Chains A and B, each alone.
Chain A
Amino acid sequence: MNDQRIDGYARALFEIARAEGTIDTVEDELFRFARAFEGNDALRNALTDEGIPAARRQTIIEDLLGGKANNTSAQLISMLVGSGHVAELPAIIDRVVARASGAKNLEVAEVRTAVALTSDQETRLAAALTKATGKSINLKVVVDPSVIGGVVATIGDTVIDGTVRSRIEQLKSRL
């Protein structure tokens, strides 16, 4: 799928969520689903398997998100699965998140940690990143055990890496 089409889908999803008045919740849930899609091989394989009928894959989405996520989020993801563009789901959702943040003059900061942050830590981290970058931050936290420890924050093209993983990688390359 080309960039223009990804942007088109993102704009459509954003407008639907905004029209529904659930953009904040939906963009957060979509973001989490996109990260789960990227990190879970079984889920990704099941949703991208062309051998499985689209209706069956949409059922998987409903089973996963039904009652746990906003109805709009589930329907939007289901729509992407049904349209056959599930492979581009992370890219489309990232555009939705960026568009939603842009609408509020916020910059998306994707933060990866080995353990979940407390709400207090998220608030302080958002404030620290705002102070460091001079931009208002829409913090998106992803729990990623592969970072081992510490935090890595990605704001646009800027990466602030304080993870144990990167330290170990530096040590390994030096060795």
Chain B
Amino acid sequence: MSLLAIIRIASEEVVLDSKGHVTTHSWIFPEQAELIYGVIASCLIFAALIKFAGPQIKKGMAARTARIQKELDSAAQDKASAAQEAAGIRQAKGDIAAERARILADADAQASSVLAEGRARLATELSELEARAQAEMAASANRVGDELRAEVARLSIAAVDQVVNGTLDAATQQELIENFISRVGAAR
């Protein structure tokens, strides 16, 4: 359709019915003029969109692509880090197991050593206690014996004093004196 034809169509007069109402020739399709104007307006809008909004959209898309790429790179980097960390953890886990085994072995060795030392010390202490108990029993026996002897001696001494004092009458005194004189006189 040439521009001239479009202008002619657009300049067609509006058909009015008897009541003065505008009447279209189809109940679904617009009039030709409306079509032309609409198409032209749409073309103008699309052209304006392409001209002015296109670069912005393209730029936005590029930025979005770069951001997504960056996120993908970051994710890849995180994945690598996670893998490295996982490897480290796996290694540490292996080390922990070895350390655990070593600690358990050390603990077993120490426990055996402590047990052996404890048994030896216990045996020594038992023998010392036994020896001490025997010594104390012997000392107690001696002490009791000494006390008994001392008590017997004390009673004997008391008895001697009593017996001597009771039996030393005047005649005995004189006899002792005479015996002393006789003994001394016969000494040389």
Contact = CB atoms under 8 A, between A and B. Distances in A.
Interface string A114-130: 11010001001101110
Interface stretch (B36-44, B46-54, B131-139, B180-188): B180-188
A148 B168 contact: yes
Nearest to B165: A148
B120 interface: no
Interface stretch (B59-67, B71-79, B107-115, B170-178): B170-178
Interface stretch (A37-45, A51-59, A160-168): A160-168
Interface of B: 152-153, 156-157, 160-161, 164-165, 168, 170, 172-174, 176-185, 187-188
Contacts of B173: 114-115, 149
Contact of B184 (A113, A117, A153): A153
Nearest to A133: B188
Given A131-B188, A171-B160, A175-B156, A149 B176 contact: yes
A68 interface: no
Given A150-B179, A160-B180, 15 more contacts: A115-B177, A121-B178, A125-B180, A127-B185, A128-B184, A129-B184, A131-B188, A132-B187, A134-B188, A149-B168, A151-B176, A151-B181, A171-B157, A172-B160, A175-B152
A117 B177 contact: yes
Interface string A142-162: 000000111101000000101
A131 B176 CA distance: 19
A106 to B, nearest CB: 17
Contact of A132 (B164, B174, B178, B185): B185
Interface in A91-139: 113-115, 117, 121, 124-125, 127-129, 131-132, 134
B101 to A, nearest CB: 78
Contacts of B160: 168, 171-172
Contacts of B178: 121
A19 B170 CA distance: 42
A172 B154 CA distance: 9
Nearest to A172: B157
Nearest to B167: A149
Given A114-B173, A115-B173, A164-B168, A151 B180 contact: yes
Contacts of A153: 184
B161 to A, nearest CB: 7
28 contacts: A114-B173, A115-B173, A121-B177, A121-B178, A121-B181, A125-B177, A125-B181, A125-B184, A128-B181, A128-B185, A129-B184, A131-B184, A131-B187, A148-B168, A149-B168, A149-B172, A149-B173, A150-B177, A150-B180, A151-B181, A160-B180, A162-B180, A162-B184, A164-B176, A168-B157, A172-B160, A175-B153, A175-B157
